[in-house]
């Protein structure tokens, strides 16, 4: 399933074989929560060279529901995407509901954010749902805590995550769907070690690091991600959940991680923030209203080779829907290009130099001046 092709330091270059195709790693997965990456068609995702997308069990469970997706022929047919799909278990969404859910050892009962209807997730039902819709990679139901949290709360999340992981493994029925475990433990190194060891004993085909990007500092996230990655099997893919800035991706690849997902590139695209080789640009800034250069001179995506900063600035100021679509396409293309460049650098044993160059570009003074005053990621 996973082949580790080369290493440079801790950075890894691999290949993941899934039911609907091959994924070259390191790889970024655009987030298509409700069976769509916001603003982009499947053809545009292919044009942006996306290899795999992420969808979400919680949202698909509620709408359109299992029966509709099954009658459509599975999730791939339903959303007209022929390449691999990873589905999150929905655990993060359920546990973010707080007052709307109740947890016990058997599972979690929650009220829908859409209409207040009551639903029940168990490790078995979540695995069965993901297998039924044809996910290439399914995630176990886990317990995520918002940081900062007490040690008692984190310890309980590790206990339940391990308990549910064992039941998830026992519930597997579809060999075509690879089931990944999720390491929890907050910022507690000892609990991360415990969680990783518990899950490795279950011999999952891949492992994710969850419970980060939920309130900790970047430095804390990097430290725990690096520690956890170092404990996971070399021969299995490693997935860091919820990171998508260029800086975070560079540091995470350097720590030995292979797969990433985040709404960041498309959320930025919807809010007028362009990701570029030289940092981020806020296209609402007045400086871009008569800037007839490309969004990123170093990028060869359709947006950059066809349209200007001035035109995109006009679209956003005029609230035309084409603006968010064009910029989302560019941002996803740029992150995918970063992954291709990272793979090539690791293969050439030039990773450290590549990482240093990209970090230097991101901190270029003129870029910081252009990007300051930007919008919230929303």
Say which residues have a Cβ less than 8 Å from residue 10's Cβ, sequence separation at least 6: 226, 229, 230, 254, 255, 256
Furthest-apart CA atoms within the chain: distance in Å: 61
Count of all residues that appear for the chain in the document: 378
The residue among 200, 194, 212, 107 whose CA lies nearest residue 155 is 194
The residue among 83, 102, 5 whose CA lies nearest residue 42 is 83
User: Over the range 151-163, which residues count as b (16 or more CB within 10 Å of their CB) and which as e?
Assistant: eeebbebbbbbbe
> Could you confirm whether 296 is annotated as catalytic?
no
Q: Which two tokens stand for residue 165?
A: 């992981």
SS3 119: strand
- How, if at all, do strands 118-121 and 107-111 pair? antiparallel
DSSP 375: P
> Could you confirm whether 88 is annotated as catalytic?
yes
Residues 88, 136, 258, 278: which is the catalytic one?
Answer: 88
Q: What is the CA radius of gyration of the chain?
A: 20
Residues 198, 254, 258, 261: which is the catalytic one?
Answer: 261
Neighbours of 285 (CB within 10 A): 17
SS3 378: coil
Half-sphere exposure of 161 (CA within 13 A, CB side): 36
Say which residues have a Cβ less than 8 Å from residue 217's Cβ, sequence separation at least 6: none
Name residue 17's beta-bridge partners.
Answer: 22
CA 187 vs. chain centroid, Å, equals 20
Continuous segment of H or E residues that includes residue 120: strand 118-121
| Active site (catalytic) residues | 88, 261
């Amino acid at each position: 399933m996973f082949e580790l092709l080369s290493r440079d330091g801790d950075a890894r270059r691999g290949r993941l074989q899934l039911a609907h195709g091959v994924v070259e790693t390191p790889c970024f997965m655009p987030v298509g929560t409700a069976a769509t990456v916001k603003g982009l068609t499947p053809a545009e995702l292919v044009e942006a060279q996306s290899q795999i997308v992420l969808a979400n069990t919680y949202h698909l469970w509620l709408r359109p529901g299992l029966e509709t997706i099954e009658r459509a022929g599975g999730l791939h047919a339903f959303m007209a995407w022929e390449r691999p799909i990873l589905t999150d278990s929905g655990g993060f969404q359920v546990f973010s509901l707080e007052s709307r859910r109740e947890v016990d050892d058997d599972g979690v009962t929650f009220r829908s954010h859409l209409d207040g209807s009551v639903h029940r997730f168990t490790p078995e039902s979540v695995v069965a749902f993901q297998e039924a819709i044809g996910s290439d990679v399914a995630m176990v139901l886990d317990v995520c805590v918002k940081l900062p949290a007490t040690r008692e709360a984190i310890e309980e999340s590790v206990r339940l995550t391990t308990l549910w992981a064992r039941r998830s493994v026992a519930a597997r029925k579809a060999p075509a769907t690879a089931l990944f475990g999720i390491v929890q433990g907050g910022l507690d190194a000892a609990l991360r070690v415990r969680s990783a060891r518990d899950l490795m004993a279950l011999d999952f085909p891949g492992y994710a690091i969850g419970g980060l990007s939920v309130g900790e500092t970047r430095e804390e996230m990097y430290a725990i991600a690096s520690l956890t990655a170092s404990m996971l099997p070399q021969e299995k893919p490693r997935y860091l959940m919820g990171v998508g800035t260029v800086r975070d991706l560079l540091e995470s690849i350097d720590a030995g991680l292979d797969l990433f997902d985040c709404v960041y590139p498309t959320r930025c695209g919807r809010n007028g923030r362009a990701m570029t080789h030289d940092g981020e640009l806020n296209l609402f800034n007045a400086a871009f209203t008569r800037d007839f250069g490309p969004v990123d001179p170093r990028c060869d995506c359709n947006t950059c080779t066809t349209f200007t900063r001035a035109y995109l600035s006009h679209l956003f100021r005029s609230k035309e829907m084409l603006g968010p679509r064009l910029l989302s396409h560019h941002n996803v293309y740029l992150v995918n290009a970063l992954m291709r460049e990272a793979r090539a650098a690791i293969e050439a044993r030039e990773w450290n130099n590549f990482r240093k160059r990209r970090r230097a570009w991101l901190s270029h003074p003129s870029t910081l001046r252009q990007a300051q005053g930007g919008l919230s990621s929303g």
